[in-house]
A and B are shown apart, each in its own frame.
Chain A
Amino acid sequence: EADIYQTPRYLVIGTGKKITLECSQTMGHDKMYWYQQDPGMELHLIHYSYGVNSTEKGDLSSESTVSRIRTEHFPLTLESARPSHTSQYLCASSERRTGINEKLFFGSGTQLSVL
């Protein structure tokens, strides 16, 4: 069982609100990722980090921002939520170890609904 936690599990919020999705891992992993997943669709990388004070945008254009002040914590923030942000958000982490056996551990996800 992976030690990576996301809160909240479910969030229903009105348009225009600012929200922060929390992600924490206790495995000491340097690398952390945020993915967005719609029903029946593939995961899309929206942000990633290779360590403290490192953040990069992923493949999918996103209006969200992330921060990495501590190794274990990688929160994602939406300054002004819109209905188009309705989706499942998955956080993942992996060890710094390079190579083919680098394994991704996923959190349980946050299901966001913006009304």
Chain B
Amino acid sequence: KNQVEQSPQSLIILEGKNCTLQCNYTVSPFSNLRWYKQDTGRGPVSLTIMTFSENTKSNGRYTATLDADTKQSSLHITASQLSDSASYICVVSDRGSTLGRLYFGRGTQLTVWP
């Protein structure tokens, strides 16, 4: 069964600290993995997209890694800011139709305290 599991479910860190969010998936055949940031009451916004051949991709203070062999990805946030408080969603696409079927994780709820 194709699934995307994220951990931890929630995380609280102090402003300025780093953190790492995890994503494990069983989706096959794999096409790409995306990380989205979703602020409360808003729609998700894309942070990174990685394919099978990419093992790291950065977007400012966000760095995503991908190990396609172990089917694991992580999102590392450096020097956290209050505005980083949000849900971070891992989305995996299979090599199906045009966009591919998207499998969503339940997200990690990150809270950054001052």
Contacts and interface: CB of A to CB of B under 8 A. Distances in A.
Contact of A103 (B9, B41, B49, B106): B49
Interface string A85-110: 00000111010001011111111110
Q: Could you tell me the dominant secondary structure of chain B's interface residues? A: strand
A44 B106 CA distance: 11
A43 B89 CA distance: 10
Interface of A: 2, 4, 9, 31, 40-45, 50, 90-92, 94, 98, 100-109, 111
Interface of B: 4, 9, 31-32, 41-46, 49, 51, 89, 93, 98-99, 102, 104-107, 109
B41 A111 contact: yes
B31 A43 contact: no
A29 B100 CA distance: 17
Contacts of B4: 42
A90 B99 contact: no
Contacts, number: 54
B51 to A, nearest CB: 5
B106 A40 contact: yes
Contact of A109 (B42, B46, B102): B42
Contacts of B9: 40
A111 B41 CA distance: 8
Contact of A98 (B42, B98, B105): B98
Contacts of A105: 46
11 contacts: A2-B45, A4-B43, A42-B4, A45-B102, A50-B98, A90-B44, A94-B99, A100-B51, A102-B98, A108-B42, A108-B43
A108 B106 contact: no
B46 A104 contact: yes
B52 to A, nearest CB: 9
Given A98-B99, A106-B44, A108-B43, 6 more contacts: A42-B107, A43-B89, A43-B104, A90-B43, A108-B41, A109-B42
B107 to A, nearest CB: 8
Contacts of B99: 31, 94, 98, 102
